[in-house]
Amino acid sequence: MRTVVCNKNDMAPGDMKEATLGRASIVICRTSDGEFYAFANRCIHQGAPLSKGKLCGAPEPTDKVGEYKFCREGEIIRCPWHGREFDAKNEGRTLSNPKFKLKEYKVEIEEDQVVVYK
């Protein structure tokens, strides 16, 4: 099964878009480097629609105890309900425990169209 979601120029880096693939609700993300990713549009915690969240960055510790820097802007999907974070560039794995991840879908660009496959 395949679904044409939009033209690739319809989404800027940092954008997310809700779409349907068959009966499944999905979220398409365009990361800060311009790559596209697609996941189930449902947080694994309590089912929040991830498309209502944001594509942002995350804090990362530095060499100094208690000091953090903000990095990976436009790569982290943040759940709108409880703030759970998923790494779009690493199979939708949670930042807090990478053994948990979102269901991922294959995305291809065909003649400037964003196409998602099940």
Token pair, residue 106, equals: 């294959």
Inter-residue contact 27 to 38 (CB < 8 Å): yes
Task: Look up the domain containing 102 and give its range.
Answer: 2-117
Total structural domains within the chain:
1
pTM of the shown model: 0.92
Q: What is the identity of the amino acid at 13?
A: P
What contacts 80, CB < 8 A, 6 or more positions away?
Answer: 48, 49, 50, 52, 53, 54
Inter-residue contact 19 to 30 (CB < 8 Å): no
CATH code of the domain covering residue 97:
2.102.10.10
pLDDT in tens, 50-108: 999 999 998 888 899 988 888 899 999 999 999 999 999 999 999 999 999 999 999 99
